[in-house]
Amino acid sequence: MKYILGILLSILIIYLLLLLLLRDGQSNLSFETSELNNIPLKVPTGFLWGTATSSHQAEGNSNNNNWFLFESEKDNTGKPRIKEGQKAGIAADHWNRYKEDIKLMKSLGVNAFRFSVEWSKIEPQEGVFDESALDHYEEVVDELKASGIEPVITLHHFTNPIWFEKKGAFEEDNSPNVFARYISKVVKRLNKKVEYWITVNEPTVYAFNGYFFGEFPPAEKNMDKAALVFRNILIAHSEAYLAIKQINLNAKVGIATAIYAFDPNSWWNIADVVGAYYANRNMNEEVLDYITNGRFDFYFPTISKLEYQSDVINSFDFVGVNYYTRFVIRFNPFNDKSYQEVKQTFAEYKTDMNWEIYPEGLYRALKQVSTFTNKPIFISENGIADDGDTKRPSFIKNHLLVMNKAIADGMNVKGYFYWTLMDNFEWAQGFSKRFGLYKVDFNTQERILREGSKVYPEMIKKFTEY
């Protein structure tokens, strides 16, 4: 009997040690509003206050990329890939209305604009470049600079030219070289006018939504393939970094990575804890580990494993953090072939995306990046889908106050970009989710500043006046 009790006690001790070992010390982080309000508002000199968009979502007439094809597809049940069968079409017509939109930025008091260039417009056929498309983007850059707004260009924001997609896109091992060729063309044209470059937007979202969850093109559900694409797009990032530096050694090059807070549904359930641990390791830390150490070590127990070591380390001058929410991991042995599923945590307030509003997660994200590097961090995306415009003011204010605390605590945050300037085509959600500071009537393309958005320029002014 004593022998059995000894074994059980040993198992219990090991179990508790594992829980402690895998526990995220930031998981219970909570800030009192009074605490945040008592911290003086202060950002570093040269801080970038901005908004962000992407080409396919805002420009319109992107009819030569993978998303254009995807918008006409149906799944195996006959359901359209996009909510209500919508298509991006002219989207917010930003291609033609960029001068008007830059005036809107100016009225907000921002000094930076993050936007993406559309690969399929620049290289419509393999090896064939459209100089008129490059002319257009140069005109956009010139207009921004003339308005005192710093351009921050993203070179890949989920979309691929059709010819690249048909060749396998980032499933193919030669894809980083193809990507670097396109990037060299863009940077050679714009490098004298553009200082900040983001190579890839959210490599985890691109890889997993497209190849595991099936919500993005090509709508596959294969974890091994998702891991392969994830690895290759990170290699593409480092090749792009080298290509840009060869053109302009002084260019500032980074990556925009999505960072979420992952917590277990129960801290006493080892399966939940392990699930949250590996979600964080693979979805958040993998990108940071790769750009700093060149190490790719993807592993979901019993599901997929892929390793790679790059010769390129420290392939970044800054890190872009896209932060939106927290997810709770709950063990589910009956969830298809996976041992864990992501569940939204219960919260009094959620966005229209059904995401928890959790400002503390931004602090956790910035803290996590800071454990890997002391190089500059830009909050390259942070925003809320709120068609009713009732939660936007507190969302913006609270996240900026949390950012302010992170800066006060020594984190090297150099900029904040709200997602997004105006309502746009929100990928698989179509036009149903309204993140814009400006409300867009897609029948007339009229832009109207939302009442709840006014807190953003007000907060910028408060920070600036300090």
Distance CA 4, CA 332 (A): 30
Instruction: Write down the pLDDT at residue 336.
Output: 54
Would the pLDDT of 141 be above 90? yes
Confidence of residue 343 (pLDDT cuts 50, 70, 90): confident
Inside any domain, residue 1 = no
Residues whose CB is less than 8 angstroms from the CB of residue 244 and which lie 6 or more positions away in sequence, other chains included:
183, 184, 187, 191, 197, 199, 251, 253
Q: What is the mean pLDDT of the chain?
A: 93
What tokens appear for 306 in the block? 């892929």
Give 212-234 pLDDT, tens digit per residue.
999 999 999 999 999 999 999 99
Mean pLDDT along residues 277-292: 97
The pLDDT, as a whole number, for residue 9 is 54
- pLDDT at residue 133 greater than cutoff 70: yes
* DSSP codes joined into one string, 412-450: -EEEEEEE-SB----GGGTT-----SEEEETTTTEEEE-
Q: Taking the CB of residue 291, how many other CB atoms lie within 10 A of it?
A: 27
Residue 235: CB partners within 8 Å, gap ≥ 6? 176, 308, 310
Beta bridge partners of 198: 154, 254
Q: What per-residue confidence (pLDDT) applies to 465?
A: 83
Query: Can you tell me the distance from the alpha carbon of 356 to that of 363, in angstroms, rounded to the nearest whole number?
Result: 15
pLDDT at residue number 342: 76
Query: Is residue 389 situated within a structural domain?
Result: yes
**Is 245 inside any structural domain?**
yes
pLDDT at 268: 81
Average pLDDT over residues 335-342: 61
* Domain count along the chain: 1
Region of residue 21 (left: phi > 0; alpha: psi -120 to 50; beta: else): alpha
Residue 8 has pLDDT above 60, yes or no: no
CA atoms within 13 A on the CB side of 278: 21
Using DSSP's 3-state secondary structure scheme, residue 113 falls into strand
For the cut 90, the answer to whether the pLDDT of residue 310 exceeds it is: yes
Tell me the residue type at 13.
I
Asked whether residue 14 is assigned to any structural domain, the reply reads no
Q: By percentage, how much of the chain surpasses pLDDT 70? A: 91
Q: Find out whether 236 and 310 touch, Cβ atoms under 8 Å.
A: no
**9 located within any domain:** no
Q: Take residue 450 and report the two structure tokens written for it.
A: 């939302």
Q: Is residue 4 part of a domain?
A: no
Q: What's the pLDDT band for 349 if we cut at 50, 70, 90?
A: confident
Q: Is the pLDDT of residue 80 over 60?
A: yes
Say if 366 falls within a structural domain: yes
SS3 74: strand
> Residue 349 and residue 385: Cα distance in Å, rounded?
12
Q: What integer pLDDT is reported at residue 3 of this predicted model?
A: 63
Does residue 348 register a pLDDT over 80? no
Confidence bin at 97 (pLDDT 50/70/90): very high
Instruction: Kindly report the pTM of this predicted structure.
Output: 0.95
Q: Is residue 450 part of a domain?
A: yes
Does residue 346 carry a pLDDT above 80?
Answer: no
How many other β-carbons are positioned within 10 Å of the β-carbon of residue 74? 11
The CA angle 362-321-296, to the nearest 5 degrees, is 115
Structural domain that includes position 164: 27-465
Taking the C-alpha atoms of residue 244 and residue 399, their distance in angstroms, rounded to an integer, is: 33
pLDDT in tens, 155-195: 999 999 999 999 999 999 999 999 999 999 999 999 999 99
Identity of the amino acid at 72: S
- For the record, the structure tokens of 101 come out as 């939109």
State which amino acid sits at residue 217. Answer: P
Residues 354-407: pLDDT tens digits? 999 999 999 999 999 999 999 999 999 999 999 999 999 999 999 999 999 999
Q: Which helix (H) or strand (E) holds 197?
A: strand 196-201
Q: 225 or 333: which carries more pLDDT confidence?
A: 225
CATH code for the domain in which residue 141 is found: 3.20.20.80
Return the pLDDT at 182: 98
CA 242 vs CA 252, 313, 383: distances in Å:
12, 11, 31
Q: How confident is the model at residue 17 (pLDDT cuts 50, 70, 90)?
A: low
